[in-house]
């Protein structure tokens, strides 16, 4: 029986890296990708400048008040960055777990690329080489107990191969030259006999590498719903920005006509703008998208885009053609559900 380990929401290493990434995201080029938060970012810079001015005795409002507004604005920006970085960090952790499938293995490389089927096997002169150094077209000898170093095609011999680490199929499969059963996958293990295989891919192009790339490069292109929501948020931000811009001249005119009172400060206007615009939705929109992809990866489903996450929300039942595609290595029981009158020990013995 196995238990799947899941990352807690605020894992120490994950949260620490997310905090560092949140600070890196203060780069204006990163903030510009989110128009709503970019407005808050500019407001944070403006209030910080006004605070420095207030310390010099020329502030439009008390320095303590301006400092409080500036701190809240910076906290808002950093919180949005942290939420997005935390979601991205969970996806990176999933990719790191996939890298665990890759093992540092050595290959038995045969000289030249023109294999003529020499026999016996003991006469084959091979050279040990790291699997990552193999190139497309190289010829390798794989014997019983060896891990297949890279994806390739069997050109000589026949062997029983354990592919459970990749496909989840617990039963060994036969791989032989010619026919439909000549393809071998890097990371699988030869259980008996031997084969000679021609490497079919260059480093970084194996099946496992492609799986890792799918997770790491999962596209965060916005879905139609996200695009529509972003347009709405930007539109609302522009409307409220126009409202705030007109408040200062109106306040100045009203004070001049009344002959009393004070013009509303720039700090108050910035704070009011941040309160009016949809800051919460704008700040968490990208984080929600990344978190959705990460949540699917925890269920061993690789979502290649935000559109796939939305489509998965409409799925009630996922029907696969065989159990081997969703099992972990050799099939392992995660729980025993005994019938009435049958103990778990009896069920385990029968299984």
Question: What whole-number distance in Å separates Cα of residue 102 and Cα of residue 140?
Answer: 18
| Catalytic residue check, 321 | yes
Instruction: Write the secondary structure of the chain as one string of H (helix), E (strand) and C (coil).
Output: CCCCCCCCCCCHHHHHHHHHHHHHCCCHHHHCCCHHHHHHHHHHHHHHHHHHHHHCCCCCCCHHHHHHHHHHHHHHHHHHHHHHHHHHHHHHHHHHHHHCCCCCCEEEECCCCCCCCCCCHHHCCCEEEEHHHCCCCCEEEEECCCECCCCEEEEEEEEEEECHHHHCCCCCEEEECCCCCCEECCCCEEEEEEEEEEECCCCCCCHHHHHHHHHHCCCCCCCHHHHHHHHHHHHHHHHHHHHHHHHHHHHHHHHHHHCCCCCCCHHHHHHHHHHHCCHHHHHHHHHHHHHHHHHHHHCCCCCCCHHHHHHHCCCCCCCCCCHHHCCCCCCCCCCCCCCCCCCHHHHHHHC
**Annotated catalytic residue within 27, 123, 321, 349:** 321
Residues serving a catalytic function are: 321
């Amino acid at each position: 029986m196995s238990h799947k380990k899941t990352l807690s929401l605020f894992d120490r290493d994950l949260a620490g890296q997310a905090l560092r990434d949140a600070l890196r995201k203060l780069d204006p080029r990163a903030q510009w990708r989110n128009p709503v938060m970019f407005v808050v970012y500019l407001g944070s810079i403006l209030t910080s400048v006004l605070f420095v001015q207030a310390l010099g005795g020329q502030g439009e409002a008390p320095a303590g008040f301006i400092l409080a507004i500036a701190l809240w604005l910076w906290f808002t920006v950093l919180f949005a960055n942290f939420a997005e970085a935390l979601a991205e960090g969970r996806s990176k952790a999933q990719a790191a777990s996939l890298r665990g499938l890759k093992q540092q293995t050595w290959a038995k490389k045969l000289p030249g690329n023109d294999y003529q089927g020499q026999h016996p096997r003991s006469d084959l002169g091979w050279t040990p080489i790291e699997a990552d150094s193999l190139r497309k077209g190289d010829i390798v000898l794989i014997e019983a107990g060896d891990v297949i170093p890279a994806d390739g095609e069997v050109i000589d011999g026949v062997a029983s191969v354990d592919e459970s680490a990749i496909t989840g199929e617990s039963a060994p499969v036969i791989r032989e030259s010619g026919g439909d059963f000549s393809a071998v996958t890097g990371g699988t293990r030869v259980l008996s006999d031997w084969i000679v295989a021609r490497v079919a891919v260059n480093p970084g192009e194996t099946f496992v590498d492609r799986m890792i790339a799918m997770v790491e490069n999962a596209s965060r292109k916005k879905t139609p719903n996200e695009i529509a929501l972003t347009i709405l948020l930007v539109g609302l931000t522009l409307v409220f920005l126009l409202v705030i811009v007109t408040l200062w001249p109106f306040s100045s005119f009203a004070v001049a006509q009344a002959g009393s009172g004070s013009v509303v400060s720039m700090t108050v206007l910035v704070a009011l703008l941040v309160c009016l615009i949809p800051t919460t939705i704008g700040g968490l929109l990208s984080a929600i998208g990344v978190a959705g992809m990460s949540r699917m990866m925890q269920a061993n489903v690789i979502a290649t885009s935000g559109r796939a996450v939305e489509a998965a929300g409409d799925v009630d039942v996922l029907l696969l053609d065989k159990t081997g595609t969703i099992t972990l290595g050799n099939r392992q029981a995660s729980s025993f559900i005994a019938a009435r009158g049958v103990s778990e020990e009896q069920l385990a013995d029968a299984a």
